[in-house]
Structure formats: structure tokens, C-alpha cells
Amino acid sequence: MDAAEARFRVKVARQSTTLEAAVVKYRKRYRRAPPRGFDKWYAFAIKNHFVMIDEFDSVVEDLAPFWELSGAEVQRRAALVVALPSIDLVRVRNGTVRTVNLAKGWEDDEVSARAEGFRRMLTKFVAELPDVDFPINAKAEGRVIVPWEHVNYPNLTQEVDASADWAGAGSVWDAWRRTCPPTSPARRLYSSIGAGRISQAILPVTKIRRQRAGVWGSEFEFALKTGADMDFCTAPAAHYEQGHFFSDWRILPALAPVFSPARARGFRDIRIPSHYYYGGTRRYTYAWDPIKLEQRAVDPMEVPWEEKRDVVWWRGASTGGGSSPPGFGAGYQRHRSVPLPDTSVNARPSLISSPPEEVAHSDPAAYTTVPVPLGALNADIMDTAFVRSVVPVSKAHRFGDSVELGVSWGYKYLLDLDGMGYSGRFMAFLASDSVPVKATVYDEFFSEWIEPWVHYIPLSAAYMEIYNVVSYFSGPPPAALRAANLSSDVAFRGSPYNPPSIFSQDGPIRRDVGSKSPLEHKNSSQTAPLLGAAQEEGDRRLRRIARAGKNWKQTIGRTVDMEVYVYRLALEYARLWADDRNAMSYNA
């Protein structure tokens, strides 16, 4: 956390403060002149107090493959792709912008919310843009996958496949693994088939042997960032537990300009801000007023930090992927976040603070470990449940009622997981006074603007360290204290509320628990014991992340920051669209 904070401070401090400095830095960083209109973009950014003036590597990375094509070829491929299902068009002509669905022949009607959202992002500066077309992906899933051979040997051309969906014949994985080198395990037939657990698929062999020998370790090696750079080429078995590999929508197996709200590794979509982030809705916007249709400063359901429960919260539908081929839903990322009631002796090691409180909270010597039954841990700190079944789930999975977004604010830890694509709730979680705990295989437009362990807690794709994340910040759960034969007064988990148990002495209880707010679970006879020094330090650091995330949303994750991003992207893309790219470059 200390290193991450220092890294973020340096990034903010190094941003250019003049147009001249921004141009110099651009030329040095990307070895070319900025696009035409860069001066007007800079003025727009400065007027709106934009912070990350120089941080647009994601735009350059997304557009890099198109520099190998002529402007005419980029235009031709854009024209081909918008004739496909679930691809809409945002068209700029003569300083105005409109949406078009060419597949159905309609204009400004029957287009996706993503296309409409992108159109609105352009409106403040569209008069400054040349004529250009933006093909917008109507789906949450990525659409563009280019085989390794076509990337490394561009003379092997391939046209866009107009097929609409897999229809049960094949899968995204079959196409995706061709992005890997021919010698990689994913390209070898025997390695690309057959199920495997992600905890074994992504861990080095030495760690697997340590676990099999009963030596714990991986739960304490916390993720430095999310799993967006997970290498499925070298660990193909891990793909069974990421639902986007089973999407029902056929990808485009050739390079084409398709603008999507997020991008997983191996895809070639061009990232744009999500319409969920830009617009306002009760489901995806913090403090949204559905009557005045505006965002308030504080959500009326917000809960003071001291009254939030030290529990991991998640509610959602059992999406997470398609069903092509069917039968793999049980392993998808959301299914694994809702643990089955487990009363077995299978155990996870749990952190417990050692008695000497003079030892620094960050010093490993301050902790001991004790194995705790997994079911007991889940009952103590995992308040996760499905509210709707989409991809089939086990009858033993926990289900709850659908609740308002504001119920989340009663919890300190807000689990943020991919669905069919990226999670649309991340910005709302950041805006709250709670802490997002994010696991994802996607990169988004803001990925280089935000810092894990400063603004949110990253979680590995295996989730195995979640118990000790909570133990570090909030103290050991009651089950760990019982396992260590310690009194429940030794440590304090920071909340006067008792989490609603879904277990009885006779086994799991299946019941709806999602309709109650945290305040309804309060035990009025319970008083909060004094925090120990270790728990005070952990809670202070956790609240620091919550405040930093909220501040980031208010200063770097605003809707106007999304407009600045789209303005810069539009200028860069318009240059690629042009026949004479030199004429579309900025000359001071």
C-alpha cells in the first residue's frame, strides 16, 4: 500500500502543465506528432481540470494495429463490420453526430444503449471533429480476436466473418487460443481440453506442491493488481472458470475497428467508457435521484463508517458467460463467489494478530495462523448471494432477494466481479464510502489512471486470499478465534452487527437473506468492544482506501474525464481514418 501510494503520487506529479510540454512528452513517448486538434483537446482538458494529461497509453495500444493499414482500408473494414448483428454506428458528419443501425436500416432508432451513450460523450466537441464513423459493440463481451499468425505475418489476410453467433457449435475459446504462439500449451490439443481448477492452473508447481504437502502460502501472497493480464496461453485449464470464453456471440476473427467498453487479454477491441458509468441509473449510479434525474452528493442510504459491517458483500444474477458449449457454468467467476455451504473439515489458514501490540501492523511477525473450516469462514465474512438464475446454479447455492444498490453501503467490503463482460458497478462502488474488492480479467479506459491498493483492493482470479484480506484489515473472524481457543474479546471485527448466518448445527440453511439492510441485522444488546492496536491500524488503512477511492471518483473518474478520454481517442482514430495522416497531425 505504501509503495502504491508513492507510485500514484509520482504519476500525478509528473503530468504536463503546458501545451508545449504535453506536445514534447507526446513526441518522446509515442515517437510521432500528436493528432490534429491536440491544442483544442488540451484546452478542453485544462478547462475541466483534467488530471492525467499524459496518460493515454491505452488509446495508443488499442489503435496501434491500425497503423499497419491505410486509411482507406480502415474505412473499408469499418463499413464491413457495421453490417453485422449487434454492431451499431456512431457517425460524425459536418460537425454533427447521429447513431445508425445499418444491419436493420434504421437511423437513431433501435440502437444499443452503448452507441447512444457514446454519441452523448461526443456532443461537447463534435464540431471540432472531422467526418468519421465509430462502430460500437452492442454487447458487453469483446468481439475482435486476431489469430497469432495474422498478427505476426500480416500478409495472411482474412475477411470479417458475418456469422451472428456460435449456435452451440464451437466457443470463443476455440478462436481465442489461436491468438497464442503455436508452441504454447493452449495451442496443443491435449492442453486445451479437459477441466482444471484455477487454483492449480495458475499457480507455479512449487506452490502446488507446498499446498499438497499441507504448507500454506498462496493465501498470504496478495494480488498486486487484478487478473487482467492472466496468461491463458500458458495456463489453458484456467479458461474453464472465466465465462467470457463461453460467450454465445461469435467473435470477428480479423482486425476491424470495434469500440467496446472493456477489453480482455487477447482481444483487439478499442476501449471506450461504459455508458453505465457515463449515464445515471438507480442500478449503477451512486446517489442517483430517479425523480430529478441527477446525482446527489451523498446517497441517502449511505452508512457511517463505524456502522458498516466488516463483511464481504455481493448480490447479482448468475451471469458471467454464455453457454456455448453448455455445462461449464458452475465454474464461472460469479458462481465461485457464492460459496456452497461447506460444513466439511476443509480449512483455510486465517491470520490472527500476535499478542505483542508493539509489533508493527505490517510486520509478518505480528501474526500467527490457524486453520479454520471453510464453511465457518464463509458464514462469518462472506455475505454473497444470487438474486436471479441465468446460467444454471446448484440448488445448494445461496439466494437472496433483489435489493437496491444502496444496501451495499452498509458493508465495508464490496466485491466487484465480471458478469457477461466488465462490471458496471465499479464506479458506483468507488463513489461510496466503502471499499471495492475487484477481481476482473478486463482492462478499461481508466486502468492506467487508477492504482490498486490505493483506490481499491485487487483480488486474484482464484479469490483464495479474500479471507486474509478481511482478517488483516478487520481482525480475525470469530471462527478463527474459536479455532485458536481464544476469547471472542481478543480481537474486534469493527462492527456492532452480527452477520446473518446461513448455517445451523445441523447443516446449511437455504433461505432468502437479501431483503434486509445491515441495520436490520443489528443486535441491540451487543456493544462494540474496544479496538486493539492492530485492528485500529487495519481499520484506519481500510478507511484510507475508501476515502482515496471516493476522491479518485470525484477528481479523475468524473463524467467529464470520460469526455476528455473520448475526445483524445476520437482525434487519434480520425487520423487513422484519413488518407493523408500527415495532414491530420498537429504542428505547433
The per-residue pLDDT for range 436-466, each reduced to its tens digit, is 999 999 999 999 999 999 999 999 887 888 8
Average pLDDT score over residue span 498-510: 31
Q: What mean pLDDT do residues 102-116 have? A: 72
pLDDT at 313: 93
Stretch (H or E) spanning 308: none
Task: Specify the 3-state DSSP secondary structure of 174.
Answer: helix
Grid cell digits, residue 67? 497503423
Residue 516 has pLDDT above 50, yes or no: no
For residue 310, give the 3-state DSSP assignment.
strand
Cell numbers given for 423: 462490471
For residues 415 and 312, the answer to whether their CB atoms sit within 8 Å is yes
pLDDT, position 161: 59
Q: Are 394 and 340 in contact (CB under 8 A)?
A: yes
Q: What is the pLDDT of residue 510?
A: 30
User: What residues contact 576, with CB distance under 8 A and at least 6 apart?
Assistant: 63, 66, 67, 69, 71, 74
C-alpha cell at 271: 476501449
Give tens-digit pLDDT for 293-352. 899 999 999 999 999 999 999 888 777 677 777 777 777 777 777 766 554 556 777 877
Higher pLDDT, 362 or 83: 83
Digit-coded pLDDT (tens) for 404-443: 999 999 999 999 998 878 899 999 999 999 999 999 999 9
Using only C-alpha atoms, the chain has a radius of gyration, in whole angstroms, of: 25
The per-residue pLDDT for 416 is 93
Closest CA to 115 of 80, 142, 90: 90
Q: Give the residue, 362 or 186, on which the prediction is more confident.
A: 186
Strands 382-388 and 309-317: parallel
3-class state of residue 128 by DSSP: helix
Q: Measure CA of the first residue to CA of the last residue in the chain; give whole Å.
A: 41
Angle at 492 between CA 489 and CA 496, to 5 degrees: 100
Give pLDDT, residue 104: 63
pLDDT of residue 421: 84
Which band of pLDDT confidence, cut at 50, 70 and 90, is reported for residue 483?
Answer: confident
HEC readout, 48-84: CCCCCCCCCHHHHHHHHHHHHCCHHHHHHHHHHHCCC
Other Cβ atoms within 10 Å of 582 Cβ, number: 10
Mean pLDDT of the chain, nearest integer: 81
